[in-house]
Amino acid sequence: MSSASLVQRLARQPGRAGVWVRLGCYWALIKDLQTGLLVLTAAAAYATGCCTNLHGGALAEMAGSLLLAVSGCTILNMVYDRDIDARMQRTARRPLPAGRVSPTEALVLGGLLASGGTAWALAIDGLYGGVVLAGLLLDALVYTVWLKRRTPYSILIGGLSGGMPALAGRVLATGQIDGVGLLLALGVLLWIPTHIMTFTIKYQSEYARAGIPTFPAVYGVAATRAIIAISTVLAVAVFMAAGVLLHLPPAYAQVTWGLGAALVGLVLLALVRPDARLNFVLYKGASVYMLGVMIVFILGGL
């Protein structure tokens, strides 16, 4: 029996096992690794300016409100994209296309989480909540509903919404939109192509079957690799600039530079010696880089 068949069988069984399987399906809808990384960028941005506006429980409140808002937005996106997911082998077993969660059920859950998280964010701080709301609307409406199925340039809006948690974290810490916050958001936006375009290169045939325009399909793989290289260099430069403005201790700054040099070296190697395996390593390496840099900013801000 396949794992998917086992899950479907357990989901139909009453009792504790069925409840845990149902919760597992809900958890799969939020894309926990992606959501966790976005919340981490907000925590890092908050840590860079926390000492100017620190009060008890603020970090926990920020993480909680963002977790709800981002999770809800992700579920709403998956409801809208369930037809696309059903056409691609790598996503066909997700709870919605596989029929383990109904669209209505997911819509209600996503709506409750998104609205609850946004309301919580607005209650914490008006400007912070406004940034969270802007990110949610950009991602769910502008990126997913309007642009994703129409143009490969939708990735720019996706990157912009991806940078909003970092901007929100900095706003909550400082009470304003400042240059460092904008740099952190820009760094995430420029990092997105390294993370996403390497993925579209690997699965370009599946995206084509689903009718989603991607840079590899429209402009070719070689041009896409060049865009990834340029975007990566710029992202690393922006995060380094943010570190300089934040006056990171030398040891932390050196770690940031080392991580950046490693990622740039990897992307340049992938540019001159294109290879499917190296492309996958770059995809994973981009996530490791972002995780490492955010941890450095958190430690440097403590």
226 Cβ neighbours under 8 A, 6+ residues apart: 271
12 inside domain: no
* Structure-token match 């770690």, residue found: 255
The answer to the question of residue 27 being in a domain is yes
Question: Two tokens at 16?
Answer: 């504790």
Full-model pTM: 0.91
| Averaged pLDDT, 176-189 | 96
170 token code pair: 């900095």
Find the CATH number of the domain harbouring 50. 1.10.357.140
Q: Is residue 8 part of a domain?
A: no
The pLDDT value recorded for residue 271 is 92
Spell out the residues 6+ positions from residue 7 whose beta carbon is closer than 8 angstroms to its own.
Answer: 21, 24, 25, 100
What are the phi and psi torsion angles at 185 (to 5°)? Answer: -65, -40
pLDDT band for 180, please (50, 70, 90 cuts).
very high
Instruction: Summarize the confidence of residues 277-284 as an average pLDDT.
Output: 93
Percent residues over pLDDT 70 in the chain = 92
The total number of structural domains in the chain stands at 1
Q: Please report, for residues 57, 69, 136, the alpha-carbon distance to residue 108 in angstroms, rounded to integers and kept in the order given.
A: 29, 14, 16
128 inside domain: yes
Q: What is the pLDDT of residues 64-80, one digit of tens each?
A: 999 999 999 999 999 99
Residue 210 counted as domain residue = yes
Q: Each residue of 209-261: pLDDT tens digit?
A: 999 999 999 999 999 999 999 999 999 999 999 999 999 999 999 999 999 99
Residue 301's pLDDT is what? 77
| Alpha carbon 259 to chain centroid, angstroms | 19
The answer to whether 46 touches 172, Cβ cutoff 8 Å, is yes
Q: pLDDT at position 3, please? A: 40
What number is the average pLDDT over the span 128-134?
98
Q: Range of 221's domain? A: 17-301
**Is residue 191 within 8 Å of residue 231, measured between CB atoms?**
yes
pLDDT of residue 222: 94
Does any domain span residue 7?
Answer: no
How far apart (Å, rounded) are the C-alpha atoms in residues 144 and 140?
5
Residue 6: band (very low, low, confident or very high) from pLDDT cuts 50, 70, 90: very low
Residue with tokens 């992202």: 235
Q: Is 3 within a domain? A: no
CA distances from 221 to 225, 227, 250, 274, 301 (A): 6, 10, 39, 10, 40
Mean pLDDT of the chain: 91
Q: What is the largest CA-CA distance in the chain?
A: 57
